[in-house]
Amino acid sequence: MDNTNIILKIEGLCKAFGSNVVLNNFNLELVKGENIVVLGKSGSGKSVLIKCIVGLLKPDKGNIHVFGTNMLELNQESLDKIRTKIGFLFQNSALYDSMTVRENLEFPMRRHWISLTSTEVKDLVEESLDNVGLLHAINMMPSELSGGMRKRIGIARTLIMKPQLILYDEPTTGLDPITSREIVQLMLDLQKKYHTSSVIISHDMSVAKLTANKIIVLLDGRNYAEGTYDELKKSSDKNINQFFEFAS
């Protein structure tokens, strides 16, 4: 692929588990600097989509290009290498409960950046925590953190490798509206600072409104509808406007 502005391109993605067809010809094109929000109800295949992108699940059919590289043709070593440029915020933040905040942040670096000195690791961990306003929590255990703090730590860990592509799986689910708003603002601030591009999986319309350059409605495993927030908000299709029912 010669268009270097395309960060992520998904073509004809299909994934089934036995007779449960989850993704059925899904397509997506993410341009540098933009955010795509994928809207879908619970169980519609949003997490499966993200796991296919990072290579945790193997698609049955289709193509996934990240930074122009076909993810499905890579050996394990090349896949690990390209994964360092992709940040993935898990749905539940996925912090290790037996590790301190500092250890949770060091963990992904030890795996990928063996060449770093301990001072460099320390600086990166502190920079990353500072970015999410939680430097003071560095020695805390995950059990001592609120939901919003856990999410911030998750974001700090996602960003520590300075990824160019960030995949957010339901970044605000389970948070109260005020904390959700703060998390969204943090996502936008960090995007501005590090010039990242994102796929944001959500069913929260305030997230979509504030972040999306484009929204894709995922239904029956495919792109049911696409458009900007304002375009989709005008739709009279009940499969689309049900997402906007509680939106401002």
Ligand X SMILES: Nc1ncnc2c1ncn2[C@@H]1O[C@H](COP(=O)(O)OP(=O)(O)O)[C@@H](O)[C@H]1O
What does the H/E/C string look like for the chain?
Answer: CCCCCEEEEEEEEEEEECCEEEEEEEEEEEECCCEEEEECCCCCCHHHHHHHHHCCCCCCEEEEEECCEEHHHCCHHHHHHHHCCEEEECCCCCCCCCCCHHHHHHHHHHHHCCCCCHHHHHHHHHHHHHHCCCHHHCCCCHHHCCHHHHHHHHHHHHHCCCCCEEEEECCCCCCCHHHHHHHHHHHHHHHHHHCCEEEEEECCHHHHHHHCCEEEEEECCEEEEEECHHHHHCCCCHHHHHHHCCCC
Query: Is 46 a binder of ligand X (CB under 6 A)?
Result: yes
What is the nearest approach in angstroms of ligand X to the Cβ of residue 190?
23
Please give the structure tokens belonging to residue 225.
Answer: 């509808």
Taking CB atoms, the residue at the shortest distance from Mg ion is 47
Partner touching 165 among Mg ion, ligand X, none, CB below 5 to 8 Å by kind: none
Binding status of residue 22 toward ligand X by CB under 6 A = yes
Q: Which is nearer to Mg ion, 46 or 83 (CB)?
A: 46
State which residue, 48 or 165, has the beta carbon closest to ligand X. Answer: 48
Does position 221 interact with ligand X (CB under 6 A)? The reply is: no
- Residue 48 within binding range of ligand X, rule CB under 6 A: yes
Is residue 133 near ligand X by the rule CB under 6 A?
A: no
The least CB distance from residue 128 to ligand X, in Å, is 26
Residue selected from 26, 37, 47, 156 as contacting ligand X according to rule CB under 6 A? 47
Query: Is residue 45 a contact point for ligand X (CB under 6 A)?
Result: yes
Nearer to Mg ion, 15 or 65 (CB): 15
Taking CB under 6 A as the criterion, the residue among 3, 5, 43, 78 binding ligand X is 43
Residue nearer to ligand X on the CB measure, 30 or 52: 52
Give the interface with ligand X as residue ranges (CB under 6 A): 17, 20, 22, 40, 42-48
